[in-house]
Amino acid sequence: MTRKAKRLYLIGAMLVVVGGAAGLVLTALSSSVAYFQSPTDLVTNAPAPTQRIRLGGLVEEGTVKRDGSSHVTFSVTDTVDSVPVTYTGILPDLFREGQGVIAEGTLGPDRVFLADTVLAKHDETYMPKEVVDDLKARGLWEDGKGLVNKPEETVSASPVSGAGS
Amino acid sequence: MIVEIGHFALVLSLSVALVQSVLPMFGAMRGDQRLMETGTIAATGCFVLIAIAFSALMTSYVTSDFSVLNVFENSNSKQPLLYKFTSTWGNHEGSMLLWVLILAFFGALVALFGRDLPATLKANVLSVQAWILTAFLLFILLTSNPFQRLDPAPMEGQDLNPILQDIGLAIHPPMLYLGYVGFSIAFSFAIAALIDGRIDAAWARWVRPWTLIAWIFLTLGISMGSYWAYYELGWGGWWFWDPVENASFMPWLAGTALLHSALVMEKRSALKIWTILLAILTFSLSLLGTFLVRSGVLTSVHAFATDPTRGVFILAILCFFIGGALVLFAIRASALEGGGLFAPISREGALVFNNLFLTTAAATVLVGTLYPLLLEVLTGEKISVGAPFFDLTFGPIMVPLLFAVPFGPLLGWKRGDLLGAAQRLYFAACCALAALIGILAYTGGTRILTAFGFGLAFWLLAGSLTDLFSRAAFLKKGWRTGLARLLGLPRSAFGTTLAHFGLGVTLLGIVSVSSFQEEVITTMAPGNSAEIAGYTLTFDRIAQRPGPNFEAQAAHFSVRRGGVVMTEMDSAKRFFPVRQMTTTESGIWTHGFSQLYVSLGDPSADKQSIVVRIWWKPLVTLIWIGTVFMAVGGVFSLADRRLRVGAPMRGHRKAALAEA
**pLDDT tens column, A104-158:** 888 888 888 998 888 765 544 445 666 667 777 777 766 655 565 544 333 333 3
Is B383's CB within 8 Å of A36's CB?
A: yes
Those residues whose C-beta lies under 8 Å from the C-beta of residue B195, and which sit 6 or more positions away, are B25, B124, B328, B332
pLDDT at position B306: 55
> Is B62 part of the contact surface with chain A (CB cutoff 8 Å)?
no
Is B397's CB within 8 Å of A89's CB?
A: no
Task: Tell me whether residue A22 is in a domain.
Answer: no
When pLDDT is cut at 50, 70 and 90, the band that residue B341 belongs to is confident
Question: B87 near B170, Cβ under 8 Å?
Answer: no
Residue range B461-471, pLDDT digits in tens: 999 999 888 88
Q: What percent of chain B has pLDDT over 70?
A: 94
- Please provide the DSSP assignment of B247-307 as one string: HHHHHHHHHHHHHHHHHHHHHH--SHHHHHHHHHHHHHHHHHHHHHHHSSSS-STT-----
pLDDT at position B301: 42
What is the pLDDT averaged over residues B279-294? 91
Classify residue A11 as exposed, middle or buried by CB count within 10 Å of its CB (0-12, 13-18, 19+). Answer: exposed
Residue range B315-333, pLDDT digits in tens: 899 999 999 999 999 998 8
**Is the pLDDT score of B459 beyond 80?**
yes
Query: Annotation-wise, does A71 bind a ligand?
Result: no
pLDDT at position B607: 72
When pLDDT is cut at 50, 70 and 90, the band that residue B171 belongs to is confident
Mean pLDDT rounded to a whole number for chain B: 88
Is A90's CB within 8 Å of B392's CB?
A: no
Question: B441 near B460, Cβ under 8 Å?
Answer: no
Those residues whose C-beta lies under 8 Å from the C-beta of residue B292, and which sit 6 or more positions away, are B243, B244, B247, B298, B369
Is A91's CB within 8 Å of B602's CB?
A: yes
**Is the pLDDT score of B511 beyond 50?**
yes
Task: Tell me whether residue A127 is in a domain.
Answer: yes
The nearest alpha carbon in chain B to A27 belongs to B392
Q: If you average pLDDT over each of A64-78, B133-147, B565-579, which comes out highest?
A: B133-147
Q: Is B425 helix (H, G, I), strand (E, B) or coil?
A: coil
pLDDT at position B300: 47
Cα-to-chain-centroid distance, residue B584: 25
Minimal CA–CA distance to B22: which of B131, B151, B113, B98? B131
Question: B539 near B526, Cβ under 8 Å?
Answer: yes
How many Å is the Cα radius of gyration of chain B?
27
Task: Name the residue facing A94 among B353, B581, B604 (closest C-beta).
Answer: B581
Find chain A residues with C-beta within 8 A of B397's C-beta.
Answer: 17, 20-21, 24
What is the pLDDT averaged over residues B191-210? 87
Residue range B429-446, pLDDT digits in tens: 999 999 999 999 998 888
What is the pLDDT averaged over residues B586-610? 85
Is A29's CB within 8 Å of B234's CB?
A: no
Task: Tell me whether residue A112 is in a domain.
Answer: yes
Task: Name the residue facing A90 among B299, B393, B521 (closest C-beta).
Answer: B521
**Is the pLDDT score of B305 beyond 60?**
no
Residue range A9-26, pLDDT digits in tens: 888 888 999 999 999 988
Domain that holds residue A97: 35-147
pLDDT at position A92: 75
State the nearest Cα–Cα gap between A109 and chain B, in angstroms.
22
Cα-to-chain-centroid distance, residue B550: 31
Q: Is A81 helix (H, G, I), strand (E, B) or coil?
A: coil
- ipTM metric: 0.77
pLDDT at position A143: 61
Minimal CA–CA distance to A77: which of A103, A96, A58, A61? A58
The structure's pTM equals 0.89
Q: How many domains does chain A have?
A: 1
pLDDT at position A11: 86
> Is B558 part of the contact surface with chain A (CB cutoff 8 Å)?
no
pLDDT at position B177: 92
pLDDT at position B521: 84
Task: Tell me whether residue A12 is in a domain.
Answer: no
Cα distance between residue B274 and residue B359, in whole Å: 11
pLDDT at position B307: 64
Task: Name the residue facing A90 among B163, B577, B599 (closest C-beta).
Answer: B599
Find chain A residues with C-beta within 8 A of B599's C-beta.
Answer: 90
Task: Tell me whether residue A8 is in a domain.
Answer: no
When pLDDT is cut at 50, 70 and 90, the band that residue A32 belongs to is confident
pLDDT at position B657: 45
**Is the pLDDT score of A164 beyond 60?**
no
> Is B379 part of the contact surface with chain A (CB cutoff 8 Å)?
no
Q: What percent of chain B has pLDDT over 90?
A: 55
Number of Cβ pairs < 8 A linking chain A and chain B: 141
Find chain B residues with C-beta within 8 A of A104's C-beta.
Answer: 384, 386
When pLDDT is cut at 50, 70 and 90, the band that residue B206 belongs to is confident
Q: Which of B55-64, B204-213, B284-293, B336-345 has the lowest mean pLDDT?
A: B336-345
> Is B528 part of the contact surface with chain A (CB cutoff 8 Å)?
no
Find chain B residues with C-beta within 8 A of A62's C-beta.
Answer: none
Q: Which residue has the higher pLDDT, B542 or B223?
A: B223
Task: Tell me whether residue A108 is in a domain.
Answer: yes
pLDDT at position B603: 73
> Is B152 part of the contact surface with chain A (CB cutoff 8 Å)?
no
pLDDT at position B167: 84
Task: Tell me whether residue A40 is in a domain.
Answer: yes
pLDDT at position A96: 78
State the nearest Cα–Cα gap between B292 and chain A, in angstroms.
15
pLDDT at position A139: 72
Classify residue B258 as exposed, middle or buried by CB count within 10 Å of its CB (0-12, 13-18, 19+). Answer: buried
Find chain A residues with C-beta within 8 A of B357's C-beta.
Answer: 17
**Is the pLDDT score of B556 beyond 90?**
yes
Distances B68 to A164, B45, B88 between C-alpha atoms, Å: 21, 26, 12
Find chain A residues with C-beta within 8 A of B605's C-beta.
Answer: 66
The nearest alpha carbon in chain B to A118 belongs to B235
What is the pLDDT averaged over residues B401-406? 95
Task: Tell me whether residue A59 is in a domain.
Answer: yes
What is the pLDDT averaged over residues B344-353? 89
pLDDT at position A69: 66
Give the mutation candidate from B155, B356, B385, B393 for the A interface (greatest A CB count, under 10 A): B393
What is the pLDDT averaged over residues B282-306? 73
**Is the pLDDT score of B495 beyond 90?**
yes
What is the pLDDT averaged over residues B74-96? 89
Find chain B residues with C-beta within 8 A of A32's C-beta.
Answer: 386, 388-389, 391-392
Residues 429-448 of B with CB under 8 A from A: none
Query: Annotation-wise, does A9 bind a ligand?
Result: no
pLDDT at position B302: 46
**Is the pLDDT score of B642 beyond 70?**
no
Question: B459 near B406, Cβ under 8 Å?
Answer: yes
When pLDDT is cut at 50, 70 and 90, the band that residue A8 belongs to is confident
Residue range A75-105, pLDDT digits in tens: 988 888 889 999 887 777 777 787 788 888 8
Those residues whose C-beta lies under 8 Å from the C-beta of residue A110, and which sit 6 or more positions away, are none
What is the pLDDT averaged over residues B339-365? 89
When pLDDT is cut at 50, 70 and 90, the band that residue B656 belongs to is very low
Q: If you average pLDDT over each of B84-98, B248-262, B361-375, which comes out highest?
A: B248-262
**Is the pLDDT score of B304 beyond 80?**
no
**Is the pLDDT score of B103 beyond 70?**
yes
- Output the domain CATH number for residue A45: 2.40.50.140
Cα distance between residue A121 and residue A152, in whole Å: 20
Task: Name the residue facing A28 among B154, B392, B611 (closest C-beta).
Answer: B392
pLDDT at position B650: 44
